Structure formats: structure tokens, C-alpha cells
Structure 1
Amino acid sequence: MTSAAKELSLANEPEHIARALRLAEVFAARAPAHDRDASFPFENFADLSRESLLALTVPAALGGGGAGAREATRVLGILGKADPSTALVLSMHYIQHLVMARSTRWPARLSRKLAKEAVESIALINALRVEPELGSPARGGLPATIARRTETGWRLTGRKVYSTGAPILKWYAVWAKTDEQDVRVGQFLVPAGLPGTRIEQTWDHLGLRASGSHTVVFDDVVFPLDYEIDVRRPDDWKVPDVTQATVHAIFVAAIYDGIARAARDWLVTFLKERVPANLGAPLATLPRMQEVVGGIEARLAVNARLIDSFAADFDIGFPLSAIESNIIKLTVTNNAAAVVEDALSLTSNHGLSRTNPLERHYRDVLCGRVHTPQDDATRVSAGRFALGV
């Protein structure tokens, strides 16, 4: 695309999309180094804040962008194509603000406070739920993390693993149980950096290496009593939060689809430019290459329709279910992984060379298969529902 065509394309997009597209070029250039070093991209979030993209899903009435799921998925897909680690941290932040805006359980005072901070500064939030013994809370069980109510405040003790964005988060929504006789479980809002809090640098992963998904440890951390977000009897959590489930599934799907599109773009360039001596023409001229690329395009077309239509349905209030949301995530992430695997099948050693980005895209896209909700849990839930058991 020429510079003039690119400027015309940006001019026809909503401002937040144009800003995301401009930042994507910068983020993509930084991504290889952050992946290599497993370093956190603080500078990306400074850029996102400057471009008012951290507050995209904050309600307009509170000074934010007021975007729904559809526009947020577009931004996340653009940034996921450039640097999926950055997009993943951002998606978790977006989810929390969309849930705050629609929840009757989030204390209004706290949601307004966090909205104001997101508009004015680099103030990100994520839910800290996963524990070494518990695994993913989506599979059931009570957390080991305990919140004890005292006269001076809640006192929190526990350990949370895979805490995405840990190096930059200002707020934690911590999943914990109380020590009350009638145990309750739920979310507590905990400011980052309080005495007794530490981050253990445990994230050394195959993919999404720059996401800073480290372990956060709480050792008798004191925070205000009125920072209780939503704490209930365990049985009251059996019905999933549809807003949380829907936006989480679709945002995660958009990021992995973005990775697949980055792989597709690199593959197309490679096939057009690679001219083997024994062929005397670009690889792109071979029917075998055209067939596989056509299959890739088919998977990406399906992904685009699923993501866009599902996000649009959410925004207009069309009734959705957690099971359907999880099926969308399963389908999109598996399509994305298949796209990158197909790209590797056409590129031989070139695709696995550290000098080319395809191997990084492959490592990143594989994370979709273990990203909550996992495929096996999604299939079991869907099967049980269909069978009525």
C-alpha cells in the first residue's frame, strides 16, 4: 500500500482505529526484542495512554471512549497482529472496565475512581485468579488466598500465578475466600505495591513472552474494608457472569486471530519473493502454495465473521451464553493455530529460523490452546448442555 493510500485508509476509519493502526507499526518493530528478552513493553502503554486508548472501554459519561465489544475487538486484533503480549495485557484491562460499566455488583464509587484514573494516567487493572494448587478457577474449587476481616481492614494472604501485566498493573481484582464461619468467595480490589506485596519474576514462557504474567504474592496485605467488590457464598457463583465470559472469550479470540494474520502476511510476502533456482519463478506461482494460502484465507474469513458478529450481538444486547462464547473462542483460536501451522508447512527451515517472525507467531499462537477457557472444558460443557446432563 502506498503512503497516500494508507493515509486515505486511515482517514476513513474511526479515530481510535486510526490511532491503533499507527501504534501497531511501532509496536511491531519493538516486539522481536521484547520477545527475545522477555522484557515488558512499558513504552507501549505510555503510547496507548497518550493516544487515549487505555480508556477506550471506559464509559463516555466518565470521560472514556465509550467503546463496546465490537470496537474493542478491532483494536485488540490490530494490536494483537503487532504485539500480542501488549494486546493481551490491554484486553484484560478492557474486560474489567466493560464489566464495571455493566455490573450491578461493582461498587459505583470504585468503578468511577478506576475509570477516572484510566482516563488520566497509566492505571491498568487485571483480575488475579489462578493459583498453583487451584489451577484455573473456571474448573471449580475454592482459592487458597484468604481475606481476613479486621477492624483496620481486610488482610490478604496468598499467591496468584499467571498474573498478566503484573509489572505495570496499578490495581488487582483478587479472587479470594474469607475466613468467616460461613465462607464467602469473590473479588477484592487491592492496590498494587502495598506493603507485603511482591512480584516474583516467574514468567519464562514459550509464547507471549513480553506479557509479564508473573506471580504476585500477598503476605498479610492490608487494604480498606470498602474495597470488597463482589463476594458471595460459593454456590452463588455456579451461574457464570455472561458479560465477563463473553468479552473475555471474544477479546482473547481477536488477539490470536491477529497473530494468525501477521503470519499470513509474512507468508504471502515470502511466497512472492522466494524464487528457487530450479523453479525460476516465485513460489506463489505453484498451485500447491495457492491451495494452502486459499485454505488460510478461508479460516481467517470465518474468524472475522465470528468475531465481528458475536461482538456486535453483545453490544446490542442480543441474548448470549457463556457456552456459545467459549465455542467462539475455541473455533477462532484453533483456526488461528492451523493458519500458522499451514504457513510453516510451506516455508521449510525459513519458517523456523529466529531471523524470521513466523516462529515467534507460532510460539505465540500455541498459547491459545491453553488459554482459559481450555478446549476440553468448552467441549464438555457444550456436550453436557446438548445432552441435558
Structure 2
Amino acid sequence: MTAVVGEPAPSAASAASAGLPVAGLPVPDLSVEALAAVTAEIASTAAAYDRTGEIPLPGLAAAHRAGLLTATVAPQFGGPGVGQVDMARILIALGEGDASVGLIAANNLGTHQIQGLAASWPPAYYADLLRRSVAGVALANSVRAEPELGAPARGGLPKTTVTRTADGWVLNGRKAYATGGTALAYHVVWVVADEPGGDPERPRVGHVVVPGDLPGITWIDTWDHLGLRASNTHDVEYTNVELPADAFVEIPRGPDGVYRDPAAMASIGLFGHPALYIGVARAARSAFVRYAQERVPTALGRPIATTDRIQAAAGEIDAQIAQAETLLFGVLLRAQSGDTDHLPQLSVLKVQIARSVIAAVNAAVAVLGNPGLSRHLPFERLLRDVLCVRVHPPQEDTALLASGRRLLGL
């Protein structure tokens, strides 16, 4: 796999000379026509990278040239600072082209958006990421899950630690599902602090910002998945990785003792992951229309698009996508207008979007029979990809349980 990490990162101790904001970040063209052109370019290589599992560099490069990978960089850092509605439009377009590109981009855009809200990175590191982002594809992602713990959304603390030293920190541990793999320029790693005088019952918990090319970082090729095969969501092991003192950013506790992670709190309103899977459903709809118009069985003597069965299936696909899009943009536009009444329902709204996009793609596959499952056509790949929407937190059982308890006053 090819790394896209550029030259070594600067020491965070040089933050005073970091030079933020960074000039040269483009303002993306978010017109329907421009986004459609990026979708088409990314789609042209999606099937090939799904088969090889390699990092989809051409698709990421297309997104970079269009300014879509840095669209959420905040104005104070020299970026365009697009809002949640436009971020969703970007991710729909990228997901329609290639779900793996969409997922890697969603994580990168979310990282920039959170930095705009919390500004928690060491300034020199973030300036370096932005400088690399001007020159080419430069990616960052939160690395949180662990083989033993699983996804942190269900509770628990990480086993990965940073141990205090005289000069900074030393990072040790293994993480799972680190999307982006060796293409990551920076990792934002969830850790427990091991430090003199610390309370072992209430340790400090936070993130360390880690340049992806430091010694002691080893990638373990564990990603052999049904869908999103080019996302490079492998395991990564950190062995005595040395970091400066300001690389650790503590996550504060609330009055109830629960950790209040700014990244987790911000991400619930982004709806980036559901957006990219709406793009996958759109791709299935377009492929279904093309196939239905071009397929002329000998016994029928005309395109299958002229049959009631195919027309009804097309209507079902369209209805499910319309429902998902209306939910997504309804959530975001209401929040943008200052309406907060729906915020307690965000998790179940994500669940409903997931159900709709899966139903849309499944409707296309089900009506086509063998062609829907053939690797010569895109439907089976799109079905595999869209099923991955269920993995992203909050997962369905957690969301429904929390919603039910809230409704019942429990």
C-alpha cells in the first residue's frame, strides 16, 4: 500500500512559529454540475479498487483537486469552513462515486470540522497537516476502537496508554478499524494517561495527535471485509512511539464523572456517514435505470424498463432514497435554523436513514435476480458497501433503547 504522509512532521514545540492560518486552501465548487463531475471521475476506478483492496488514491486525488477534502477547514485556519448541509452534499457525491473514498473523506472532513470547534491540536501539527493538504492528499482520522474493547460507543476505557516522560509521552497499544491505513498523515489516538501522581481509578483520558510516519507504528493487515474494501480499515500497533508534551489533549469529565469528548459530541450533528451511504443508494438507482433501459431479453423484445415489475421497483428505490434525503437534510436544516426540538431524536433518525438506504439498494438487487448479484455489474458491490452503514455509531439497538427509555421517562 502507498502511504500519503509527505515529509516528517515538525516538532510540536515549534508551535509559536507554526504560521496559522495556512494560505492556499481552495474554495470548492459545490454546484450540482461540479459535484457530478467529481462523482463520475471517482466512480471510474471504484470497482478496480474494491477488487484489490488498495487505497483508492485516484479517487482521493480527484476529491483533493476539487477542494472537497479540506472543505470543512475553519476560516480561522484559512479554509472555506463549509457547514453541515454542504458537507453532507459533498459526502453524498463522494459516496456515489466510491463508498471507500467517501468514508475516508468523511473522517477527514469531520476531523477538520472538530478542530474548528475545539482547536485541540498542537498548532505546529495542524499547520503541517494544512500545508500538506495544499500540496496534495493529506488525511487524518480518529483512531479509537480496540481489538478487545471494540467500538468505544458502547462504553469502557482504552487499553492504549501514553506514559509520561521527562520530555513528553510514550505511546503503546493496539487499535482496530483505523480507516485510511498507511495513507493517514496524522492519527488522533484515544488513550489513557499513565503519569506520576495519577489516580488509577479515575485516570486522565484523552487523545494524542500522532504523525503517521513516526518510528514504532506498525500496520497489521486485518481488513478483509464484506464492504468498503478499499477503505484500508486495518489494525495499527504503537510501540514506544515518542511524542512531545503538548501532543496529549485531555477529555474533560462532566459532573456525573462521564467523559465529555468534544469529538463525540460534535460528530452526532454531522451526519457525515449517513450522507455517504445515501450516495451509495443513488449510485444503485442510476445503475438500475441504465440496466433497465439497456436490457432487452429476447423473449420480451423490448427493454425491461417497460414492464410494470421494473417500474414498481424503480419507484420503490426512489421512494426510499427520497425518504433518506428528506430526513438527512431536514435534520441539518432544522439545526441550521436554530430549531433544537429534534436533537433528542438524532440517533433514531440516523437509524431510519440507514434502513432506507439499505432498502433502496436491496430493492434493486432483489428484482434483478442473477444480474443483481453478478460481479460484472455494480449492484452487488453497492449492496456490500451500503450494509456497512449499520456499523457506524450509534448502532440500531443502542439508538432504539436510548430513545425508548427517553420516551418512557426511564
Which among 18, 22, 27 is matched to residue 37 of structure 2?
22
* 1:327 shift after superposition: 1.9
Q: Is the 8 A contact 1:130 1:136 kept in 2?
A: yes
Alignment of 1:361-376 (within 5 A): 361-376=382-397
TM-score where L is the length of structure 2: 0.85
Alignment of 1:60-79 (within 5 A): 60-79=75-94
Structure 2: where are the runs of 5+ without partners?
1-27
Alignment of 1:69-148 (within 5 A): 69-103=84-118, 111=126, 114-148=129-163
- Tell me how far apart the structure 1 counterparts of residues 409 and 260 of structure 2 sit (CA, whole Å): 17
Residue number in structure 2 paired with 1:325: 346
Q: 1:143 to 1:53 in 2, by over 3 A?
A: same
Q: 1:232 to 1:258 in 2, by over 3 A?
A: same
Residue number in structure 2 paired with 1:301: 322
* 1:228 shift after superposition: 1.7
- Tell me how far apart the structure 2 counterparts of residues 56 and 280 of structure 1 sit (CA, whole Å): 49
Amino acid at match of 1:303: A
* 1:239 shift after superposition: 7.7
Amino acid at match of 2:258: D
Farther off after superposition, 47-56 or 159-168:
47-56
Q: Is the 8 A contact 2:251 2:261 kept in 1?
A: no
Q: Is the 8 A contact 2:144 2:190 kept in 1?
A: yes
Q: Is the 8 A contact 1:106 1:230 kept in 2?
A: no
Which among 174, 185, 196 is matched to residue 189 of structure 2?
174
Alignment of 1:46-61 (within 5 A): 46-61=61-76
Residue number in structure 1 paired with 2:268: 245
2:206 maps to 1:192: no
* 1:94 shift after superposition: 0.5
Choose between structure 1 and 2: higher helix proportion.
Answer: 1
Farther off after superposition, 342-351 or 327-336:
327-336
2:53 maps to 1:35: no
2:220 maps to 1:206: no
Q: 1:380 to 1:168 in 2, by over 3 A?
A: same
Farther off after superposition, 171-180 or 133-142:
171-180
Alignment of 1:214-233 (within 5 A): 214-233=234-253
SS at match of 1:188: strand
Q: 1:379 to 1:198 in 2, by over 3 A?
A: same
* 1:21 shift after superposition: 2.5
Q: Is the 8 A contact 2:274 2:353 kept in 1?
A: yes
- Tell me how far apart the structure 2 counterparts of residues 152 and 236 of structure 1 sit (CA, whole Å): 30
Residue number in structure 2 paired with 1:151: 166
TM-score where L is the length of structure 1: 0.90
* 1:296 shift after superposition: 1.5
* 1:111 shift after superposition: 4.9
Q: 1:107 to 1:310 in 2, by over 3 A?
A: farther
Q: 1:285 to 1:323 in 2, by over 3 A?
A: same
Residue number in structure 2 paired with 1:236: 258
* 1:186 shift after superposition: 1.7
1:315-370 per-residue CA deviation (whole Å, 9 max, x = no partner) reads: 44543776533222211111111111111111111111110010100111111122
SS at match of 2:162: strand
Q: Is the 8 A contact 1:156 1:218 kept in 2?
A: yes
- Tell me how far apart the structure 2 counterparts of residues 26 and 382 of structure 1 sit (CA, whole Å): 40
- Tell me how far apart the structure 1 counterparts of residues 126 and 340 of structure 2 sit (CA, whole Å): 25
- Tell me how far apart the structure 2 counterparts of residues 133 and 86 of structure 1 sit (CA, whole Å): 28
Give the paired residue count.
374
Farther off after superposition, 111-120 or 199-208:
111-120
